[in-house]
Structure 1
Amino acid sequence: MESQWLFNLILVVQFLILIGISLWAYSLSKKLKRLAKNQIDADQNQKKQVQVLASGSIGMGRRLVAIEKKLNIAVERQSEILSKEGNVSYNRAMELLELGATVDDLVSKCGLIRAEAELISLLHKESRRPSNQRFN
């Protein structure tokens, strides 16, 4: 009879161990499901953040392109204005040099600074020299 009692005790202990392992496995599966849900939520949050950043970057890129276009137009206009003003005074300076004007005449009549007037005068003299003497 004692062996029967020992057998029943072992059977009960095994049953209790089986119930304990089952409860432990059930709690682990709940934890895993909760972790998986948290991971999915985190992934969705990251996707939303990336979409927000991407749309902001696209908007900023468009703004930069528009600003760059405006800047290029402004630079072109400024270059046109400067070249028109500069060409007129430089062309006038060349005409005056052809007529025998001095550097002081160029400064006073064309609105050039002295260095510009001297440079134009040197270029004019250089262009009037014969080509075989220019490189000597």
Structure 2
Amino acid sequence: MTLAELALVLSVLMPVVFAVGVWWWLHGVNERMQILESDRDNAEQQLYEVRQELHEIRAGALGVVKRVKLLEQEVLETAEKQEAMALNDPENRLYNRAMKMVSLGADLEEVMTECELPRAEAELLFTLHRNKTTS
């Protein structure tokens, strides 16, 4: 093969080799692009799912907050009802009256008579009142 023939073969083969090389390079770039697009699609799907979960968590948290507020209100109402019941209890009123009499200086016999308390209970009230005033 002569130099001229070799030059002719090379002049024909070089563009073909170059075209094949470019095609091969572009094919690799295209595959990488497809992988990156797939990764992006997966990331977008995960982001969508995370946003949905966050939305559900927020909704649940708001429900819990509302329920806690309702329960707090119920506890306050129950405490108020208990206090009102305690104040309306006839025995409680007697003890409250007896304590008031003790604090005003009534003697043991007077508290026993006016509040219809046994001696032991009246003495206990006097002891409690003395402890309360010395504290």
Q: Could you tell me the TM-score, scaled by structure 1's length?
A: 0.70
Aligned to 1:71: 75
Amino acid in the other structure paired with 2:43? Q
Deviation at 1:112, TM superposition (A): 4.7
Aligned-CA RMSD value? 3.3
Aligned to 1:61: 65
| Distance in structure 1 (CA, Å) of the matches to 2:42 and 2:123 | 77
- Equivalent position to 1:109, from 103, 113, 117: 117
Provide structure 2 residue ranges, at least 5 long, that are not aligned to the other structure.
none
Identity over aligned pairs, percent: 12
| Distance in structure 1 (CA, Å) of the matches to 2:15 and 2:36 | 31
Q: What whole-Å deviation, never above 9, does each CA across 1:47-79 have from its counterpart, x for those lacking one?
A: 110111111111111111101100111122223
Count of residues paired in the alignment: 122
| Distance in structure 2 (CA, Å) of the matches to 1:48 and 1:3 | 67
Q: Could you tell me the TM-score, scaled by structure 2's length?
A: 0.70
Deviation at 1:100, TM superposition (A): 2.3
Aligned to 2:53: 49
| Distance in structure 1 (CA, Å) of the matches to 2:128 and 2:100 | 11
Q: Report SS of the residue matched to 1:109.
A: coil
Deviation at 1:115, TM superposition (A): 5.0
| Distance in structure 1 (CA, Å) of the matches to 2:49 and 2:86 | 54
Q: Output aligned runs, 1:6-45, within 5 Å.
A: 6-45=10-49
Deviation at 1:123, TM superposition (A): 7.3
| Distance in structure 2 (CA, Å) of the matches to 1:113 and 1:74 | 31
Q: What whole-Å deviation, never above 9, does each CA across 1:63-120 have from its counterpart, x for those lacking one?
A: 1110110011112222333455545413224437855216xx59x8178586543022
| Distance in structure 1 (CA, Å) of the matches to 2:35 and 2:19 | 24
| Distance in structure 2 (CA, Å) of the matches to 1:45 and 1:114 | 72
Aligned to 2:96: 90
